[in-house]
Amino acid sequence: MQNITRIYALSKRNVILRYKNSLVGFFWGFFKPLLYLLIFIVIFAAQFPSVNNYILYATSGLIFWFFFSNVTNQAIGTIVGSAGLIKSLNIPPVSFPISELVGELFNFFLTLVVFLVVMYWFGISYSLRLLLIVPCTILFSIFSLGVILLLSSLNVFFRDISIIWGTVQPALFYITPIAYPESLLQGRNMFIIKCNPIYYFIKLGRGIFNDPIAPSNRLWAYCAIIAFVMYGIGAFVFSRLKNQFISTI
């Protein structure tokens, strides 16, 4: 119970800190995907006439991508950045990555609300199916938590991790069909894409908003398996390393 209060307090701090001294505050959450979308429209939209309703297609992928990208960027340095607290208070270190995730979920929720309103003009159909976004977000969060547990704990010992992650991320972005249709890829390229775990979550989330038919059970199962395996890996590494955090930060 006490830990929940603590995570709440830390998450609140993260949310306040993120947009401190910025003019439009939370709306950056939506502006950022929107700016990317503008770039996409100018460069790609005409290239992919095969995509039905390109704006909805690209935006629905982008909001999920930015959730993942924001949470990993914020959380990768969370243990190193919380050195002062870790050295003076007996708080389980796992509270720090969790609170980054909670803060970003709050941000994602606001983005989602704006997205759902704005997409009215771009042909989103409102139905009960949109509620599937809740389990989808939960699975993606579990996956993201696994990633940030892994990255934030390794980053304590090898600060190169955050630098490497800065270059891995754009690569991940481009091998995930966000700006371009999946049909563009064939053969060997398709194999690379299918090895990319984020692909499945983006496909799932986008399917809920965009496709005429609901995501298949098989896709849900893939996402659930990937999410829990990633969480398992992250939690294992984190728990092996956490006792040595204090000596290194």
Partner 1 sequence: MNADTLISFDKVSVSFWQNNMGINSIKDLITKRKKPFSSKTILKDISFEVKRGESMGILGRNGSGKSTLLRTIAGLIKPQDGIIKVNGSFAPILAIGAGLELELSGYENISLLLSLYGTSRKNTNAGEEIKEFSELSEDVLRMPVKRYSSGMVARLAFSISLAKQADILIIDEVLSVGDQGFQAKCMDKIHQIKAQGTTILFVSHFPDGVLKICDTAILLENGQITHRGTAKEICDNYTLLF
- Specify the residue, 123 or 166, whose C-beta has the smaller distance to partner 1: 166
Binds partner 1 (CB under 8 A): choice among 23, 42, 50, 90: 90
| Burial (Cβ within 10 Å: 0-12, 13-18, ≥19) of residue 90 | exposed
- Binding to partner 1 by residue 186, rule CB under 8 A? no
- Between CA 183 and CA 214 the distance in angstroms is 19
Provide, rounded to whole angstroms, the least separation between the CB of residue 28 and partner 1.
17
Provide, rounded to whole angstroms, the least separation between the CB of residue 167 and partner 1.
15
Q: How many CB atoms neighbour CB 166 within 10 A?
A: 11
Question: For 150, what's the count of Cα atoms within 13 Å in the CB-facing half-sphere?
Answer: 13
- Between CA 159 and CA 152 the distance in angstroms is 10
- Binding to partner 1 by residue 91, rule CB under 8 A? yes
Whether the Cβ atoms of residue 138 and residue 223 lie closer than 8 Å to each other: no
Binds partner 1 (CB under 8 A): choice among 50, 127, 217, 247: 247
Site string for partner 1, 216-245 (x = CB under 8 A): ---------------------------xx-
Site string for partner 1, 142-181 (x = CB under 8 A): ---------------xx-x---------------------
Residue 235 sits at φ, ψ, to 5 deg, of -65, -40
Binds partner 1 (CB under 8 A): choice among 46, 89, 195, 213: 89
Give the DSSP letter string of 172-218. Answer: HHHTSSSSS-GGG--THHHHHHHT-HHHHHHHHHHHHHH-SSPPPHH
Provide, rounded to whole angstroms, the least separation between the CB of residue 168 and partner 1.
16
Q: Which spans of this chain sit near partner 1 (rule: CB under 8 A)? A: 2, 5-6, 8-10, 12-13, 16-17, 20, 84-91, 157-158, 160, 243-244, 246-248
